[in-house]
Amino acid sequence: MDFPSIIIYVVPMLAVWASFGFVWFTRPKNNDNIKLLLAFSGAFLLALTFFELLPEVYVGHDPKTIAFFILGGILLQIFLEFFSKGAEHGHVHLHVKKNKFPVLLFISLSVHALVEGVPIYGNDSILYGIIIHKIPIAVILSIFLLNSKIKLSTTLMFIGAFSLMTPLGSYLSTTPWVERYGYLFNSLAIGVFFHISTIILFESAQGHAFNLRKLLVIILGIGIAYLV
């Protein structure tokens, strides 16, 4: 099923705002359910990367160049996490001052969201993956912002600007220069997805303790990705 372009741009924004609205009205306390959703999203995104992006990006291109950019995406995400403190995979360990906009957190999350928006255009399955990945992250980010000392107006400005980043990445992928080198940007995104999803899956087995529910949602995420 091919989605109209407007859907590709609007749905990621709605996912962020819906997650914020959910946190605003419910003030969730059960972190276990959020962790389960994170585990599902990590498995789903990783499986889609293997099933959809990885086979396509190597077709007709130099394998070493592709591998170089995939590794570059992993390193890029590691670098971004020095500033975001792991917000992309469900952790926010920052102390922000009252009325101060968390600039470094915003920049790191924005770069991440821009990169993940590039492979969405023309690939509906990846759109599913990004949405499912974005919802728990936006929930955790919203909980952090609402529980911090930041003013509500600053929080709303942060969420609004952040919600635009993935659609902006999708839009940039239609420009001639990015479209010409799209396979390189997709390779970069694959590296980012690899790092994020594997970290989520490793952290879902915290303490190396067996957890049947998390194992089942991981298997479910992979199974649904295969069928999409």
Task: Label each residue of 31-59 as H, E or C.
Answer: HHHHHHHHHHHHHHHHHHHHHHHHHHHCC
pTM: 0.85
- CB-facing half-sphere around the CA of 5: CA atoms within 13 A: 7
Looking at residue 123, its pLDDT comes to 74
How many domains, the chain?
Answer: 1
Looking at residue 1, its pLDDT comes to 42
Looking at residue 156, its pLDDT comes to 93
What's the average model confidence in pLDDT over 24-53?
Answer: 85
Average pLDDT, the chain: 84
Looking at residue 209, its pLDDT comes to 52
What's the average model confidence in pLDDT over 13-37?
Answer: 86
- In this model, does residue 138 exceed pLDDT 70? yes
Over the stretch 193-228, which tens digit does the pLDDT of each residue have?
Answer: 999 888 888 765 555 555 778 889 889 999 998 887
- In this model, does residue 96 exceed pLDDT 70? no
Range scoring the smallest mean pLDDT among 79-83, 130-134, 176-180: 176-180
- In this model, does residue 76 exceed pLDDT 90? yes
Residue type, 194: F
Q: Which domain holds residue 15?
A: 5-227
- 3-class secondary structure for the chain? CCCCHHHHHHHHHHHHHHHHHHHHHHCCCCHHHHHHHHHHHHHHHHHHHHHHHHHHHCCCCCHHHHHHHHHHHHHHHHHHHHHHCCHHHCCCCCCCCCCCCCHHHHHHHHHHHHHHHHHHCCCHHHHHHHHHHHHHHHHHHHHHHHHCCCCHHHHHHHHHHHHHHHHHHHHHCCCHHHHHCHHHHHHHHHHHHHHHHHHHHHHHCHHHCCCHHHHHHHHHHHHHHHHC
